[in-house]
Amino acid sequence: MPTPSIQLPQYDDGPSLDAATRIVHGSSPDAIYAHIPFCRHKCHYCDFYSLVDQRDRTGPFADRFELETEAIRDFIDTSKIRTAFVGGGTPTLLEPPLLARVLAAIGTIPKKTFDEFTVEANPETVSEAVAATLVAGGVDRVSLGCQSFQPDLLKTLERWHDPNVVPIAVERLRAAGIRRISLDLIFGIPGSTIEDWDRDLDAVLALEPDHLSCYGLVFEPGTPLAEKQRLGRIDAIDDSIESTMYDRTRERLAAEGFEQYEISNWARPGEACLHNLVYWEEGDWLAIGPAAAGNLGGIRYRNLPRLDDWLEGSGLSPVVNVDEPSAAVARGERLMLGLRLRRGIERAVVDDLVRGHAERQAAMGRHLDRGNLVWLDDRLRIADGSVMLADDILSDLL
């Protein structure tokens, strides 16, 4: 734990490092998020910060990553850290010796082992060596991006993997000792049918994951997919079909023993993602790596999203997009995030979050009258039949 008498590292290349020092030093995160910005190919729906054809940068990346963790670990209170999540990008695209160094660097931050250590992986990158490296690095949970099992729909997304590699990847991870496996699917892909979606659900369930994330496709501005839509080369599927897909997901997964604990996430009992709960419960998390976003002491920030500039540094990442929301905005965001969770929010907390905010109270009243929000066991939640409208409801409450 830092004290005022500790000499902070000296930085000389700009004010954003001063901001990083102010935000990170003395913080007490619950979780760590590390961003690995390399991908084999850019999927057309993706707006995450990731770069292709950068193999020559992966070695320098590992060197720089270690320097960043060194700059962090002696200056934060590590006692609350419970989870780590390595996302991207495609973390498992790193060569195993480099992946091992990144995992080891993350492992040096807390003084005890993580309660949950997740790495995102793309199925085609999970070799036996990668799986063994994950286990040796302390990883106990892998989130595997499947998105679809239909080759034509993967092609629409410009997602480059053969669906047949997914069961092989799952088998390799399990054989190496990864017990907790989460699979991601995307519904509402242009050209998809309800039968396609049923087949995708069949395919993921056959792999017996303990966690599933099912997201509706979003045409993120600036992505090639959004551009194709703008040019009329591709059409979003009908809202009613997307809504039916979502309803089927909820019914099917409930019948299979999964609990929906968040709008887009289902888990077997006891297998909810602890790390993502930190986000939804507005905990504090530390960001490592270029473009990684963090939230510490009520301040949101993002590390510099430019790999070359990040590689030139030597300590903390310079930060950009520093946002310190007002108390009123922070309460609105807490309401919004809490309602993403299917267990909802306790009445006393809701009362606090809407107190003195007439517009928020009015929006809540409207959605209660319409049946979109309900009180259940003295907790406010989005009604079962209105979960598909969550984005609209939540933005009204913000």
Binding site for ligand SF4 (CB under 6 A): 39, 42-43, 46, 48, 50, 88-90, 122, 145
Q: In what order do the strands lie in the sheet with 345-346?
A: 345-346, 379-382, 373-376
Tokens of 147: 């998105």
Alpha carbon 362 to its chain centroid, in Å, reads 31
Of 49 and 246, the one with the shorter C-beta distance to ligand SF4 is 49
Closest distance of CB 42 from ligand SF4, Å = 5
Closest distance of CB 85 from ligand SF4, Å = 14
Q: What is the DSSP letter of 251?
A: H
Of 124 and 284, the one with the shorter C-beta distance to ligand SF4 is 124
Closest distance of CB 303 from ligand SF4, Å = 16
Q: How far apart are CA 183 and CA 181, in angstroms?
A: 7
Q: How far apart are CA 23 and CA 324, in angstroms?
A: 11
Of 39 and 237, the one with the shorter C-beta distance to ligand SF4 is 39
Of 123 and 344, the one with the shorter C-beta distance to ligand SF4 is 123
Closest distance of CB 160 from ligand SF4, Å = 8
Q: How far apart are CA 4 and CA 349, in angstroms?
A: 34
Closest distance of CB 218 from ligand SF4, Å = 12
Q: How far apart are CA 100 and CA 298, in angstroms?
A: 32
Question: Is 38:54 a contact under the CB 8 Å cutoff?
Answer: yes
Closest distance of CB 49 from ligand SF4, Å = 8
Chain residue whose CB lies nearest ligand SF4: 46
Long-range contact set of residues 232-241: C-beta below 8 Å, sequence gap at least 24:
234/156, 234/190, 235/190, 236/188, 236/190, 237/188, 237/189, 237/190, 237/191, 237/192, 241/188, 241/193, 241/194
**Beta strand spans in the chain (E):** 31-36, 83-88, 116-121, 141-147, 180-187, 211-216, 259-262, 265-267, 285-288, 293-296, 299-303, 319-323, 345-346, 373-376, 379-382
Cα dihedral sign for 245, 168, 105, 91? negative
Of 145 and 318, the one with the shorter C-beta distance to ligand SF4 is 145
Closest distance of CB 263 from ligand SF4, Å = 20
Of 16 and 92, the one with the shorter C-beta distance to ligand SF4 is 92
Place of tokens 């979960």: 387
Closest distance of CB 287 from ligand SF4, Å = 16
Task: Please state at what angle helix 128-136 crosses helix 165-176, rounded to 10 degrees.
Answer: 40
Of 48 and 75, the one with the shorter C-beta distance to ligand SF4 is 48
Tokens of 208: 């017996």
Of 151 and 325, the one with the shorter C-beta distance to ligand SF4 is 151
Of 152 and 202, the one with the shorter C-beta distance to ligand SF4 is 152
Q: How far apart are CA 342 and CA 305, in angstroms?
A: 33
Question: Is 381:344 a contact under the CB 8 Å cutoff?
Answer: yes
Of 41 and 174, the one with the shorter C-beta distance to ligand SF4 is 41
Give the contacts of 175 (CB within 8 A, at least 6 positions apart).
128, 131
